[in-house]
Chain A
Amino acid sequence: SQKIEQNSEALNIQEGKTATLTCNYTNYSPAYLQWYRQDPGRGPVFLLLIRENEKEKRKERLKVTFDTTLKQSLFHITASQPADSATYLCALDINAGNMLTFGGGTRLMVKP
């Protein structure tokens, strides 16, 4: 069956450190992968999109890598801050029509 897996356990890190979140998928060949941030009781907010022909993309303190051979994306937040605490979701468009399929999300807690 088709799956998108994110670590369901919360990730706790100290302020200033780099947070690394993982998204693994099986049985897909997505044209692109997206990362979203979701705060409690709010809708997801788009952060980054990386295409299948891109290995890495950066935006300010955020970096995403995409390995289509390993079927894995890594999401990094450098110099993390308590305000980065949220749930981070990865999503794939599995049939090129914007029917996004989301992973379960990983909750990040950045402690001061």
Chain B
Amino acid sequence: DAGVTQSPTHLIKTRGQQVTLRCSPKSGHDTVSWYQQALGQGPQFIFQYYEEEERQRGNFPDRFSGHQFPNYSSELNVNALLLGDSALYLCASTVPGQWETQYFGPGTRLLVL
């Protein structure tokens, strides 16, 4: 049983560019959350998708957007990249009705130059 998978594993972009990160949830999971983790800090909640809609959103600008597909996989898009967007981007999924326990993927390391 595959866990949460994310792609790509690493990415280098320049300021002003746009990036798309992808996440496939654990089998049987229907809710996907995205987090940003800067070096040496804890993860920060970006948003959560359920039934293909954004269910909750953290304190992130509109440059951060997402999408959930019918197969529950999800994308995170970041426009107009800033140096400060360099971080580990984590995706987490949860079992239907058991939203408390989140299963995290390995993350995508984004470096903005």
A interface vs B, CB < 8 Å? 4, 6, 32, 34, 36, 41-46, 49, 89, 91, 93, 95, 97-105
Contacts and interface: CB of A to CB of B under 8 A. Distances in A.
Nearest to B90: A43
Interface stretch (B12-20, B42-50, B79-87): B42-50
B105 A43 contact: yes
B104 interface: yes
B66 interface: no
B40 A104 contact: yes
Chain A, interface SS category: strand
Q: Is the interface of B mostly helix, strand, loop or mixed?
A: strand
B105 A98 contact: no
Closest 7 CB pairs of A and B: A43-B104, A102-B42, A98-B99, A104-B42, A99-B56, A44-B104, A102-B43
Given A43-B90, A44-B90, A100 B45 contact: yes
Interface string B91-105: 010100001111111
Contacts, number: 65
Interface residues of B, number: 27
Contacts of A105: 41-42
Nearest to A97: B56
Contacts of B45: 99-101
A49 B94 CA distance: 14
Contact of A99 (B41, B48, B90, B109): B48
A101 B40 CA distance: 15
Nearest to A4: B42
A99 B107 CA distance: 18
Contacts of A45: 104
Scoring B4, B33, B100, B107 by chain A CB atoms within 10 A of each residue's CB, the highest score goes to B100
A96 B3 CA distance: 25
